[in-house]
Structure 1
Amino acid sequence: MKKLNYLFCLIMITFSCKQKIEITKVEKEEVTKDIQSEKEITDPTATEVWEPEPKVISFNNNNVPSDAIVLFDGTDLKAWVSAKDSISPASWTVHPDKTMTVKPGSGDIQTKQNFGSIQLHLEWSAPDIIQGEGQGRGNSGVFFQNKYEVQILDSYQNRTYANGQATSIYKQHIPLANATKAPDQWQTYDIIFHQPEFDGEGNKTKSGTFTVIHNGVLVQDHVEILGTTEYIGPPKNPAHGKGPIKLQDHGNLVQYRNIWVREL
């Protein structure tokens, strides 16, 4: 009886191995057929896709895309309000050269309009007169949805903590490089922001991300936003929807010009 059981087991093992070999052969044949079928395409038009056709973008004299929402073109601050109450007019100083300067003590300003995921372009310059050091030199910031800050700071020959220098995702991500120009020159930020997602119970289901290009240099490469950019303590993740863009009054005479967004 034992011999019969042994013989039966041996037959089953042999059959199983043979079946696996046959399946493997079939799989290899299918892969070979796929490769051969790909090789059989000789007409280049067979892989052309014509629809949908990307929309055409034009540019004005300031190189602003035609589908952009202009937040500041040097004319006025009508797109902005005080962040203190979200109603009062923004009181920062607008100059004849189409720039604006932080008005120390007046508080942050924010957009009237709320935004989700966006492409943001802004240009800024550190104060003309260099004063202070570290975080006290040319400090401001641009906040997305009033919660997530990309740092603005005069980081030209000005050492501070690495996750708090210019273009850092404040206290979360250190820039890949310090591309800050001298204070007498204008800095350009081009930022891609993808907002976080939350379920119906307020739980975060997908983190937001930042990509930042500073003066043409990639300094944040699709980094994960861990939560709110807190000055003290760890990030928080309260559920929220769209929100305004905010510029920070940190008491320094930081200048801004040419600010626009494209909704993604």
Structure 2
Amino acid sequence: MKKYLLLFSISVLAFSCKDKEENSSEKKEETAEVTTKQETKDDEWTVLFDGTNLDNLQLYGNDNSIENWKIEEDALVFHPPAERPKDTHYNLVTKKEYTSFVLSIDWKISEGGNSGIFWGIKDDGTYGQPYETGLEVQVLDNEKHPDAKNGTDRQAGALYDMVAPNKDVTKPIGEWNTAVITINHKTNTGSSVLNGVTVAEFPLKGKEWNSLLENSKFNGWDGFAKYKTGKIGVQDHGDIVSYRNIKIKELN
């Protein structure tokens, strides 16, 4: 009898251990599945402009038809109007707002041209221009535009008027440049990568940020850099400029 009881106990223990192993294995698989899904989500890019339509974009300040921005050979090209009504601008912004993200965008500027890529834009009718609220990575002809001579923090790739690029890696006029802008409020870090080179890094808040702001033209501006969540846009600065392959990856 004792022998049978011993065998029964061993069998129960074996099944119990097996169940625990299976449950543990299932939990590991579930955890791995969740992790994989999270990693996949973090790696997902959303195309904002693929060369075929402007469905994700609109003019800053309204949702009317987009003027002066034309799709040409898969690129979004701005042609400044010959005659511009007073206080009329054609800045282009996303319909959606973003907080932390990685933005990838190709740009090509005309000779002597100037433009910019903004984020944190408040588009509710309170402000007249994206630059009143949004921070900007500069798009510029470093060779012929006078802004490049006014200080390196206005050269292409700079956090405009705040952080200078550590080197000039722009392509010759007529060639495409690729900008990758990362804004991460969780880690309090921002960066500007131009043609594969990290040319500027900056905080988004704190003592160092306050110092940058105080020493810039934006010091004292009511709405500047106040909005963690806002639209992304490209600038009408009165010059021909082209953008293509615009995509964004939101950071959780």
**TM-score (norm: length of structure 1):** 0.63
Larger radius of gyration: 1
Write the distance in 1 (CA, Å) between the matches of 2:245 and 2:215: 28
- Indicate whether 1:110 and 2:93 are aligned: yes
> Which one of the candidate residues 216, 226, 246 is aligned to 2:196?
216
Counterparts in 2 of 1:75 and 1:243: CA distance versus 1, 3 Å? same
Give structure 1 stretches of 5+ with no counterpart.
1-49, 59-64, 131-136, 197-205
Write the distance in 1 (CA, Å) between the matches of 2:78 and 2:142: 18
Q: CA RMSD in A?
A: 3.0
Q: SS of 2:105's equivalent? A: strand
Report percent identity of matched pairs.
Answer: 27
Is the contact between residue 110 and residue 246 of structure 1 (CA under 8 Å) also seen in structure 2?
yes
Greater helix fraction, Structure 1 or Structure 2: 2
One-letter identity of the residue aligned with 1:177: K
- Indicate whether 1:119 and 2:112 are aligned: no
Q: CA deviation at 1:213?
A: 1.2
Tell me the alpha carbon deviations over residues 215-234 of structure 1, each in whole angstroms, 9 at most, x when there is no partner.
Answer: 0111113x124377998442
Write the distance in 2 (CA, Å) between the matches of 1:235 and 1:195: 22
- Indicate whether 1:189 and 2:179 are aligned: yes
The residue aligned with 2:44 is: 67
- Indicate whether 1:234 and 2:219 are aligned: yes
Is the contact between residue 162 and residue 216 of structure 2 (CA under 8 Å) also seen in structure 1?
no
Write the distance in 1 (CA, Å) between the matches of 2:75 and 2:162: 30
> Which one of the candidate residues 64, 74, 78 is aligned to 1:88?
64
Q: CA deviation at 1:235?
A: 6.0
Q: How does 1:1-12 map to 2 (within 5 A)?
A: none
Is the contact between residue 102 and residue 249 of structure 2 (CA under 8 Å) also seen in structure 1?
yes
Indicate the structure whose relative CO is greater, using CA pairs within 8 Å and at least 6 residues apart.
2
Is the contact between residue 162 and residue 215 of structure 2 (CA under 8 Å) also seen in structure 1?
no
The residue aligned with 2:75 is: 99
**TM-score (norm: length of structure 2):** 0.66
Is the contact between residue 119 and residue 232 of structure 2 (CA under 8 Å) also seen in structure 1?
yes
- Indicate whether 1:162 and 2:145 are aligned: no
Give structure 2 stretches of 5+ with no counterpart.
1-30, 82-88, 122-133
